[in-house]
Structure 1
Amino acid sequence: MPIMTCPEADVPPALRPQVSELRDEAWPPDSASAPRTFAHDPALRPVSMLLVEGSSVLAALDILRKEIVHEGRRFRAAGLSTVVTRRAARGQGHGRRLVTAARTEMAAMELDLGLFTCDRPLQPFYESAGWQQLPGAVLIGGTPSDPFPSDRPGFDKVTMAGFFSAVGLRHRSSFPHSRIALYPGEIDRLW
């Protein structure tokens, strides 16, 4: 099964409704867990990755990118967003394959690191795809004037990471047990 990778705006029109259906299946629009929007901020240069069988999208995710400053150093960072597998296709390794491919894709983008949060029960899944937990790390989303930290009450999130460049690897020890100013904005409050 091929994995299609393209800028979010270039996802073929015939596949867009399927991606929307997958997201609605995972996060029903009327539920408290539903994001405010599935449209990503274009400033984060979203890249979509779709696992496609024939004409059917089995799994999808988006990669969002921006520069961050952590402990006085600039890093080219990216994160996973809206990772979803079709309910009927779960348990077959499709999500793991896509998340593993995303890690490889991010490394090829000349990024220093990948950072994202996930629900605590999903930590082993992401670790099986090559990501590592950053113990005690908190991502601070939103904006500096309206922060959205991943350790807010009611969240049970862990921070996952991958270090890709020599700079990222050299400074990886500065990320565990830290507050990381991600600040992706008001649309993608916490990618």
Structure 2
Amino acid sequence: MSESIGPVLRVIGCAEADLPAGPARQVAELEAAVWPGSSPGHDPALTPRTMLLVDGAGTVAAALSLLYKPVPLAGRTYRAAGLSSVVARPELRGRGLGGRLVAAARAELAADPAVDLALFSCDRPLAAFYEAAGFEVLPGTVLVGGTPEEPLATDHPGFDKVVLAAFFTDGPGRDRAAFTGVRVPLHPGDTDRLW
């Protein structure tokens, strides 16, 4: 995917495993600067896809990952995608670049017939940022990450998380109701514990 979003910047996306070395290095450096001690990359079982906002010289201004997995809930299995590792260059923050990239990710997920919904959590103060890009807060919803044997939930003591979603099914109202006010067994594993 390649979409022009400004006079110099464009959105590009590819499977994480296919990301060229230069952009991959830039993403790893950005993530390490924002989240010291983090390790780059995601669990291949979640089919990670990287989306970047880059300038004409190939400099990464913002990045995020899309992760995918089936989620059983309310008697069916949903094909879910989550946003992870959303980051913008610190010196470029406040210019709307992260919001443009998140909105582009939502549009890509909405256009993908293999995705029923986007589902992820964020720190409570960031909820308005994601809402501006078209996601909605699910009141009372808790994502249960980690593994069934070692769960990590968004209502873990010390966390101040909210769960956001966007529904792309034929019955978004019904599916929104199924995901509101419940504990969702996300269980993405040990690498991407809450995606």
Task: Choose the corresponding residue for 1:147, options 142, 147, 151.
Answer: 151
| Corresponding residue pairs, total | 185
Give the superposition deviation at 1:38: 2.7
* 1:111-150 alignment, distance < 5 Å: 111-150=115-154
Cα contact 2:167–2:175 (8 A) shared by 1 = no
Give the superposition deviation at 1:13: 1.0
* 1:20-59 alignment, distance < 5 Å: 20-29=28-37, 35=38, 37-54=39-56, 55-59=58-62
Separation in 2, partners of 1:80, 1:87: 19
* 1:98-113 alignment, distance < 5 Å: 98-110=101-113, 111-113=115-117
Cα contact 1:75–1:168 (8 A) shared by 2 = no
Give 1:32's aligned residue. Answer: none
| Corresponding letter in the other structure for 1:76 | R
- 1:8 matched to 2:33? The reply is no
Task: Choose the corresponding residue for 1:80, options 77, 80, 83.
Answer: 83
Cα contact 1:3–1:98 (8 A) shared by 2 = yes
| Corresponding letter in the other structure for 1:98 | L
Q: Which moved more, 1:73-82 or 1:163-172?
A: 163-172
Task: Choose the corresponding residue for 1:60, options 36, 58, 63.
Answer: 63
Structure 2 alignment gaps of length 5 or more: 1-8
- 1:183 matched to 2:191? The reply is no
Give the superposition deviation at 1:51: 0.2
The RMSD of aligned alpha carbons is 1.1
Separation in 2, partners of 1:150, 1:24: 23
Percent same amino acid at aligned positions?
52
Give the superposition deviation at 1:184: 0.6
Any idea what SS the aligned residue of 2:22 has? coil
Any idea what SS the aligned residue of 1:99 has? helix
* TM-score using structure 1 length: 0.93
Cα contact 2:81–2:117 (8 A) shared by 1 = yes
Structure 1 alignment gaps of length 5 or more: 30-34
